[in-house]
Structure 1
Amino acid sequence: MNDVNSNNQTGQIHFYQGSEALKTKNSLDAIKQKMAEFSNVKNVSFLLGAGVSSGAILDMKGMHDEISQDINKNTNLEDKTKDLYKKLSGDNLEKVLGVLYAKKHFLEGTIKPDKTEKDSVNELINHIQDQMFFKINIDLLGEKAAETLSLYKKLYQKVALRNKDLSRINIFTTNNDLFNEKALDNLNINYNNGFGGGLERVFNPARFNYTFSKKIDANLEKFEPLENMVYLYKLKFLNYWVALKNNTGVSGFILG
């Protein structure tokens, strides 16, 4: 598996293939060349990390800092809830929520749980989740999101339209925002994110095994895969991406 990792946190682009940092005079050109090469591979997947949306949405550390300030200043939260938050270490909200949910399950499993402590845990969990949801779900039509949305659209314009003999593109993302869906909708590119149904959308992972095809002969049962098709996998709160190689091999890019 070949990985490309673009990291612009320090104002520089770092280009990796596997675990090896490739030393090139122009990392951006090297990445473009590598992406062009692997775009013609039969099976290719992309993993989009938090850095891809960081121009419009805070990264996890920035979000942690803002939510921490809000908790300290929020007059609607109980003092015991604030005290509970001060006891938690680290600056990763996912890990913080993991600790809080562990404490919640522990209290629910005890014979006589402390009601005040239980209420504090639930209040803190709900507050953090509500704040995260609010900060992630920004106005995708707003000025702040325009540049980031443009980058998503450029990516899909390059990779989504593939020869019918090649497998459709797989996009894996740990992001909870809707930039992928918005970009694909704007470009009129079909995508399968595992949800089906009409008025009520229902998640069914079996849908990722479906092949979307079009009929090419009105008189015969003859079909061919849609050319503009993307399989979108949203990995919620996962820290690792595991790619299983099949007989033809899998090529992957890690962006962000």
Structure 2
Amino acid sequence: MEQIELVKILLKNTYINFLLGAGTSYNKVDGKMHFPLMWDLLNFIKGDTKVLGFYNSLKKDTTIPVGVGEMLASLYDDYLFSEEANIEKFLSVLEGVDLYITDIDFRKIVEEQRNHIRMLIRDRLNNSDKDTVINNYISFYNGLKNVKEVNGLKNQIFNIFTTNYDMMNEMAMEIQNIHYYSGFEGIVNRKFNLAYYNYDFVDSFRVNHANVKVTPNHMNLFKIHGSLSWCMKDGELIERNPYEQDFLPEIIYPSVDKFKNTNLIISYSALMRELSNRLCQENTTLFVSGMSMSDEHINKIIENALTINTFHMVIFCATVAEIKKLQEKYKAYRNVIVVDREYKFCDVADLMQNLQGGD
């Protein structure tokens, strides 16, 4: 059976989840500041003069406690400047060194460096040209509305999981008047509350009507690596206007250092648990776009789901190289489809919009 025909069947007959990575916001246009892939973000941070200055001082500054400078420099070498570098892991290990720094003044210097890097990430994303990608997101969510309509799935809530920190999903859904839950409740003080994902949105409600039929008319958005709009206040995870400049966003990655902030690690764990629970339901499909599939924590959850016979994963890749890499990675799994032609995020959106239903 042709791959796209099988995709149509899965869209019609299974519970639908999407996993969106950095590639969904990447749309390079000449003369525009595009949203970065993780490698772009890494290079941006590596080239910052303040980051480089701090790194170069680690082995030279005689005021740094003995052994601490060398230890920190090795972390930069392994997590920021190596071929396997990962900015989220780097931030996590950089926070973890607090456990080994007894000098209070130097600990503050390291904290300033961490905050500077978070500020760089915030400003780089906030300065990215949203106009180059917003239409792709709008088309994607239009496509999901089309999938619901042509397949008679009005009672199914679609789950959107993303590792992106940017606000493009939220902007697109609000432009399209799509109601969504992102895990926060309240207006003035928007606090994280996982229970919100289990609520239903009712278009109209007659109080005296004995048998109210609730039709789900929303989508669930899970930002599993944090968001430009998230920050900690008095020990609680809250949501703020992402374009305010007086706070640093919470970019979450699991590591021992996060346990010093109990509410943050609880929120992260809850989101990952939701990913696991929803993928491990019977007759579930995970559609993937813009992901390199290199996040070990997400991969472990997916590997568990792949042991379920009724679970399927469909991966859309933007390049031939990615297709070959992931075909090799998942060649032993019969319930994984790595689509064998290039599909950028805009192509995935077109596919959803032009869907006519499967048999």
Name the counterpart of 2:233: none
Name the counterpart of 2:141: 156
Name the counterpart of 1:251: 285
Structure 2, unpaired ranges of 5+: 28-33, 61-68, 80-84, 226-251, 255-271, 291-359
Name the counterpart of 2:41: 63
Q: In structure 2, what residue type is equivalent to 1:198?
A: I
User: Does the Cα contact within 8 Å between 2:55 and 2:73 map onto a contact in 1?
Assistant: no
Matched, 1:94 2:83: no
Matched, 1:53 2:88: no
| 3-state SS of 1:38 partner | helix
Matched, 1:195 2:190: no
Q: In structure 2, what residue type is equivalent to 1:60?
A: M
Q: 1:104 aligns with which of 64, 77, 98?
A: 98
**Shift in CA distance, 81/63, structure 1 to aligned 2, threshold 3 Å:** farther
Q: In structure 2, what residue type is equivalent to 1:152?
A: Y
> What root-mean-square deviation, in Å, do the aligned CA atoms of Structure 1 and Structure 2 show?
3.1
Q: Distance in 2 between matches of 1:217 and 1:50?
A: 43
Q: In structure 2, what residue type is equivalent to 1:54?
A: Y
Matched, 1:125 2:119: no
| 3-state SS of 2:41 partner | helix
Name the counterpart of 1:220: 209
**Shift in CA distance, 81/36, structure 1 to aligned 2, threshold 3 Å:** farther
Q: In structure 2, what residue type is equivalent to 1:64?
A: L
Name the counterpart of 1:10: none
Name the counterpart of 1:137: 126
Post-superposition CA distance 1:128-163 (Å, at most 9, x none): 111111112236xxxx32231111111111114634
Post-superposition CA distance 1:197-216 (Å, at most 9, x none): 11121110111111222346
Q: In structure 1, what residue type is equivalent to 2:87?
A: L
| 3-state SS of 2:42 partner | helix
| 3-state SS of 2:47 partner | helix
| 3-state SS of 1:214 partner | coil
Structure 1, unpaired ranges of 5+: 1-21, 25-29, 108-112
| 3-state SS of 1:125 partner | helix
1:226 CA drift (Å): 4.3
Q: 1:40 aligns with which of 12, 25, 41?
A: 12
Comparing both chains, which one has the higher relative contact order based on Cα–Cα distances under 8 Å and sequence gaps of 6 or more? 1
User: Does the Cα contact within 8 Å between 1:63 and 1:132 map onto a contact in 2?
Assistant: yes
Q: 2:132 aligns with which of 126, 130, 147?
A: 147
Q: In structure 2, what residue type is equivalent to 1:38?
A: L
Q: In structure 2, what residue type is equivalent to 1:103?
A: V
1:222 CA drift (Å): 3.6
Q: Distance in 1 between matches of 2:95 and 2:207?
A: 55
Post-superposition CA distance 1:103-123 (Å, at most 9, x none): 01332xxxxx12453233212
Give the count of matched residue pairs.
Answer: 217
**Shift in CA distance, 219/120, structure 1 to aligned 2, threshold 3 Å:** closer
TM-score, scaled to structure 2: 0.53
Q: Distance in 2 between matches of 1:228 and 1:204?
A: 20
Q: Distance in 1 between matches of 2:49 and 2:73?
A: 10
Q: Which structure has greater helix proportion?
A: 2
User: Does the Cα contact within 8 Å between 2:173 and 2:179 map onto a contact in 1?
Assistant: yes
Q: In structure 2, what residue type is equivalent to 1:92?
A: N
